[in-house]
Structure 1
Amino acid sequence: MNNTSLYAFSPEGELLWKWGDNSTGLNAFGSPAISSNGTIYIVYNNALYAIYNGNILWKYNHGGVASSYVSPVIDKNGVIYLSTTSGILAINPNGTLKWKKTTGTVKSPIIIGNDGTIYFVDENNLYALNKAVANFTYNSSNLDVEFTDRTNGNGFYYYWDFGDGTFSSERNPTHRYSSNGNYTVSLTIATGNHIDVFTLIVTVDDKKAPYISVNNPSGRYNKTITVNVTINEEGFIYYTIDGSNPVIGGNLWNGSLLINKSTVLRLIAVDVSGNPSPIYTFNYILENNGQNNSNSSGSSGKASKAVKPKPIVLPDLKIVSTKTKKWLCVC
């Protein structure tokens, strides 16, 4: 290669092909790089060229290079890295931009470590770049799942797809599923022109029974009370007040119940995963309530006072005598 032309020779020294001549007006910088498939990448003053068998596959306008440090470098995935006057370009094998890291003018060759880390120097700094790889872990509790971002690095845009038609842009979101199942969850991270996606099957298995709470516990009350019942998670409550055990699908609780006489309230709850609660029994005894006093019969409930009877005064008695019978008469 000279400043204007690229030559390809056989092992025997035979010229196979030549690309470029003085008429192009192009000046080559640095040394060309050759990929595993034989594509040659060479930097000219106007663009990075990809040449195969003497033909141009594509060219990418790099925007300006420093002539001393512009030899392209290829990683194990075929991505081409090029130093420019404004930073590092990562270019896909098809000639499209993968990402760009903006810095000052690069003043060193590009070195790629065994782990893929890219090292270079601009006017003021030494850089060590490694492409971000999306990753996350999760912890589930019933239908609630906590997601934790494990992506290497910071400053990314996050996009979560929870696999149930809902999404989030938080870094570490918590999500509640509506039912048990396996959900395909994906995390997409993006920065500049770099995008990476990590997908994981998340299993939601809610086996924990719900529990209920009441505002008034069992006990004795001297007035009418209102009982409110709540469930600790999404679900349904069923009840009875006739002493029988409640069943799922029976009398659906509507939020509150007025207790105006002694009542045995029994409750059962079921969550959206089908987990039933135990049966809860609450015994409410209402005292000093006329409707529950056996002596009241609709009265005020107060006991009546005993009334002393008036004495009966009889007139004087006279005895009347006959020969055959005697009578006692009142005359």
Structure 2
Amino acid sequence: ATFTITEPQPAQPQSSFTYSINNLNVYFSNTSNNGLFSWNFGDGTSSSSYNSSHNYDSAGTYNVCLTLITNCDTVTFCETITIEHLSSVNLQDELQSGTKVYPNPAANTVFFSINNLKARNLYLIDPNGKVVESRIIKGPREEISLNGYSSGIYTYQITDNLNKLIKSSRLNIIK
């Protein structure tokens, strides 16, 4: 009898991402397989986080690239994104979104006073772009314990039931 042993070929590295835009802030979600990552946001800045959020200085078109580095290969995926100016009407809606966050900066606990009836989801994103808190909004006041969180500038996002962004801003955690 003759036996043939065939070793499976390792999966080819694939680099890809999705993104969501809120004014000048973009949240990038890495959908690549494992390896080391390098983001180039097309404006001279970069990051090595798995997921990342980036605040652009101005509206415009940017070529964003995610490079995946493995032991065997390096693969880059690029996509052109367009950041548009927020109209004054939209800006006024944003200012009247009815959300207050306090205290900010915060050390132990942060409170969200949410008076927008469309608000359904609350996300807290760490300085590396990783979602560290995700919850369904159950009432006009949400409380998040900051035990276990490191100091840094975090981003919070509030979305509606279709996950459309209502409010996004920064939270400074000081330990």
**TM-score with structure 1 setting the length:** 0.25
Considering Cα pairs closer than 8 Å and 6+ residues apart, tell me whether 1 or 2 has the greater RCO.
Answer: 2
**TM-score with structure 2 setting the length:** 0.47
